[in-house]
Amino acid sequence: MREFPPELLFEILLRLPPEDLLRCLCVSKAWNATIHDKTFIKSHLQRSIQTNSFGSLFVSATFPCNKCSFKFSDIYDDGTIERAMKIEQPPLQDAESGTPFPSALVSSNGIICIRTGLYEDDFVLWNPSIRKFKKIPSPTFEQSPSPDIHVYLGYGFGYDSTNGDYKLLGIANFNEAVHQCQIYSLKSNSWRKIRNMPCDEFHMIVSRILFSNGALSWLAQNMLDRKMHVVTFELATEKYHWFPTPVDENVQLEVLGDSQCIFRRLRTMDAWIMKEHGSWTLLYSIELPPMSRVNRWCLG
């Protein structure tokens, strides 16, 4: 192995899935050093994204007694999916310790961000492929401006490819015009305050914050004219952008591929996808049978 060209070894290891790389760590010190090298880790991630290799399906389910189960299933090149297998979980507090059940925020490049409480915000970053996890310190939001105002907390997790960093955005929404924003960086392993959104007349709907194409997105409603908007936050530049939605009632934000989508369900199921510069294109409009129609979706 000593005469094995380092460049060729790098290329061979680059094509292996994470579970095989774990086994290769024990081959030699040279192999171990190559796999742990930051350049190799970044190259392996980029190649996996570009070639759509080593795909997997993450499944989470919550059961009675606050028990949560996480499962993974590999997705093969031909699109077939094997049976989802239960995987070893990181050590999380459960109902017996008085902590609400854990919930997965989102998975980004195989890294899963888990919120381990509903009222006390503790987080864990978990990589089930290599069986490693990292506990994240809790954010320190300022106190509510009034004890009578309820605090709504929203979190979004994603990967900053420009800086090679995983980030977690936290938003404390006190009322229609008062909020605080903080961001966690895996590189620095710390939270810091960032510029708040310019939203004096907007109500932030931060119960669902989605990640796509390097940005986090959520819905906001203008309280003056009741118009709905999609707010995006670029993880690399930390800039906010606002885009009016194609419709303003009964809307739900989702992600399709790398694009934001707006769904509306009334007499029809309608879906729009966001193109460049905030323009929207109608994907489909399907007539619904009378029994499946609903009057309104919950926005908060």
pLDDT one-digit tens code per residue, 135-173: 888 888 876 656 666 677 889 999 998 998 999 999 887
Q: Of the CATH numbers 2.40.480.10, 3.40.50.1010, 2.130.10.120, 1.25.40.10, which one belongs to the domain with range 139-300?
A: 2.130.10.120
Give percent helix, percent strand, percent coil of the chain, each to the nearest 5. Answer: 15, 45, 40
Please name the residue that has the structure tokens 């507090």: 93
Query: How high is the pLDDT of residue 235?
Result: 95
Tokens of 3: 């005469």
pLDDT digits (tens, 9 = 90+) for 212-246: 889 999 998 888 888 999 999 999 999 999 999 99
Please name the residue that has the structure tokens 């503790």: 122
- H helix or E strand, kind and range, residue 275: none
- How is the chain split into domains, by residue range? 6-51, 59-138, 139-300
Query: How high is the pLDDT of residue 154?
Result: 86
Query: How high is the pLDDT of residue 128?
Result: 72
Q: Are 230 and 222 in contact (CB under 8 A)?
A: no
Write out the E strands in the chain: 55-63, 67-75, 85-86, 103-108, 111-115, 123-127, 132-136, 152-160, 165-173, 179-185, 190-193, 202-212, 215-222, 228-234, 240-244, 251-256, 259-265, 268-274, 280-287
Residue 77's contacts (CB-CB under 8 Å, 6 or more residues apart) are none
What count of other Cβ atoms lies within 10 Å of the Cβ of residue 155? 20
Tokens of 80: 């077939």
Low-confidence ranges of the chain (pLDDT < 70): 1-4, 49-108, 117-121, 129, 143-150, 175-178, 200, 291-300
Instruction: Report which residue type is found at 198.
Output: P
